[in-house]
């Protein structure tokens, strides 16, 4: 398994899951990671954010897709 790198850091799990789903639709496997006590402490997301991670080799394409999506919204 290749190393993973953060391509987005957002304020909620829902937003991170939307980004991960968009990346998945382009064939890029994405993982959502949050330091929120396994979901029992969602307020912790406000301090460190929710991260979207992809394989290092997919990072440039993932970052481009995220930037395009943000520009069109």
pLDDT in tens, 38-48: 555 555 545 56
d(CA 21, CA 31): 10
Map out the domains of the chain with their CATH numbers.
4-72 (3.30.70)
pLDDT at 11: 87
Question: Would the pTM count as exceeding 0.95?
Answer: no
pLDDT at 49: 82
pLDDT at 41: 55
Q: Identify the segments of the chain with pLDDT beneath 50.
A: 45
d(CA 24, CA 38): 23
């Amino acid at each position: 398994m290749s190393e993973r790198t953060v391509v987005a850091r957002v304020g909620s799990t829902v937003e991170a899951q939307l980004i991960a789903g968009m990346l998945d639709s382009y064939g890029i496997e994405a993982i959502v990671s949050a330091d929120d006590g396994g979901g029992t402490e969602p307020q912790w997301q406000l301090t460190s954010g929710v991260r979207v991670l992809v394989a290092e080799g997919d990072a440039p394409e993932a970052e481009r897709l995220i930037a395009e999506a943000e520009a069109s919204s």
